């Protein structure tokens, strides 16, 4: 399945296959050290309770992420950072509604409610997120003509955010991903980390998903196929 097909299926164009049990993906106890990085994806006001694209129970994971982050020497945060007229917003397409899809030059694009507009309160990191030792904030989706779920590569599949080079320059070899939402920005970040050659883990209980018409199950299957390992916070050694 290519990138465009996966993007459309994650948006609800196809019903997900049955989701295997946790044991299929479990990685067991996993040690992390100076060559590991925790990427905390899009823990922003728009994606939690009261936000324009709220993920169910998105607030719940914040204390857990804070706790997990204390065990990591290296932490990177991401923010969706859209222009007010971003191409991924349903409001920019006459007659279209959120969660419908359109064809753009780079492929099929899921349309979203307006969210995480640059400089707005909705785009701010959740105030209870407390990771003072985070070393980098990657802002993505700021090119108005292309979406960017992944922290590594925009949705056209070729425009880099520079994160991969940054991590490699610093000698990182393992990537751990947490945040919002599991089936979109977390999944794409994890799969692109694998493409960049990093050993990659998604910390399932430190994420929450949108699950639009089976997109969560589909995302886990796609991540497994890409070689991403699925763990719980208790699996961190």
pLDDT of residue 24: 43
Confidence grade of residue 21 (pLDDT, cut at 50, 70, 90): very low
Q: Find the catalytic residue in 46, 116, 140, 207.
A: 140
Q: Find the catalytic residue in 46, 116, 185, 207.
A: 185
pLDDT tens for each residue of 158-208:
999 999 999 999 999 999 999 999 999 999 999 999 999 999 999 999 999
- Spatial CB neighbours of 103, under 8 Å, sequence gap ≥ 6: 109
The mean pLDDT value for 73-80 works out to 98
Q: What CA–CA distance (Å, rounded) separates 207 from 217? A: 14
pLDDT tens for each residue of 24-51:
455 568 989 999 999 999 999 999 999 9
Q: Could you tell me which residue, 18 or 66, shows the higher pLDDT?
A: 66
CA end-to-end span of the chain, whole Å? 34
CA-CA distances (angstroms) from residue 123 to 111, 139, 158?
Answer: 18, 10, 25
User: Could you confirm whether 42 is annotated as catalytic?
Assistant: yes
pLDDT of residue 2: 35
Q: Find the catalytic residue in 42, 80, 108, 147.
A: 42
Q: Which two structure tokens, joined as six digits, stand for 194?
A: 């694998």
User: Could you confirm whether 140 is annotated as catalytic?
Assistant: yes
Q: What CA–CA distance (Å, rounded) separates 57 from 44? A: 13
Q: Could you tell me which residue, 100 or 4, shows the higher pLDDT?
A: 100
pLDDT tens for each residue of 80-133:
999 999 999 999 999 999 999 999 999 999 999 999 999 999 999 999 999 999
pLDDT reading at 227 higher than 70: yes
pLDDT of residue 27: 52
User: Could you confirm whether 116 is annotated as catalytic?
Assistant: no
pLDDT reading at 16 higher than 60: no
User: Is the whole-model pTM more than 0.85?
Assistant: yes
Question: From the centroid of its chain, how far is CA 81?
Answer: 13
Confidence grade of residue 4 (pLDDT, cut at 50, 70, 90): very low
Strands 101-104 and 107-110: antiparallel
Question: From the centroid of its chain, how far is CA 31?
Answer: 22
Confidence grade of residue 213 (pLDDT, cut at 50, 70, 90): confident
Q: Which two structure tokens, joined as six digits, stand for 200?
A: 């990659």
The DSSP result for the chain, as a single string, is: --HHHHHHIIIIISPPPPPPPGGGTB---B---TTEEEEEE--BGGGSTTSTTPPTTGGGHHHHHHHHHTT-S-EEEEEE-B-TT-TTBGGGSTT--TT-EEEETTEEEE-B-S--BTTSGGGSBPTT---TT--EEEEE--STTS---SSSB-TTSS-B-SHHHHHHHTT--EEEEEEE-IIIIIHHHHHHHHHTT-EEEEEEEEEE---STTHHHHHHHHHHHHT-EEE-GGGB-
């Amino acid at each position: 399945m290519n990138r465009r097909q996966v993007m459309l299926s994650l948006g609800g164009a196809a019903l997900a296959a049955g989701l295997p049990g946790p044991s299929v993906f479990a990685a067991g106890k996993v040690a992390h050290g100076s060559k590991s990085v925790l990427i905390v994806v899009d823990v922003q006001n728009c994606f939690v309770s009261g936000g324009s694209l709220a993920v169910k129970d998105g607030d719940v994971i914040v204390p857990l992420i804070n706790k997990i982050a204390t065990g990591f020497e290296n932490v990177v945060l991401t923010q969706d950072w859209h222009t007010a007229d971003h191409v991924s917003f349903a409001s920019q397409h006459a007659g279209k509604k959120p969660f419908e899809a359109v064809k753009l030059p780079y492929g099929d694009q899921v349309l979203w409610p307006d969210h995480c507009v640059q400089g707005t309160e909705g785009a701010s990191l959740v105030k209870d997120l407390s990771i003072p030792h985070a070393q980098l904030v990657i802002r993505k989706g700021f090119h108005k003509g292309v979406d960017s779920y992944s922290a590594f590569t925009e949705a056209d599949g070729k425009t880099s955010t520079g994160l991969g080079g940054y991590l490699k320059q610093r000698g990182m070899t393992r990537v751990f991903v947490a945040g919002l939402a599991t089936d979109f920005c977390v999944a794409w970040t994890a799969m692109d980390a694998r493409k960049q050659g990093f050993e990659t883990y998604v910390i399932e209980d430190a994420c929450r998903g949108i699950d639009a018409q089976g997109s969560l199950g589909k995302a886990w299957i796609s991540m497994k196929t890409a070689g991403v390992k699925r763990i719980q916070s208790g699996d961190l050694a």
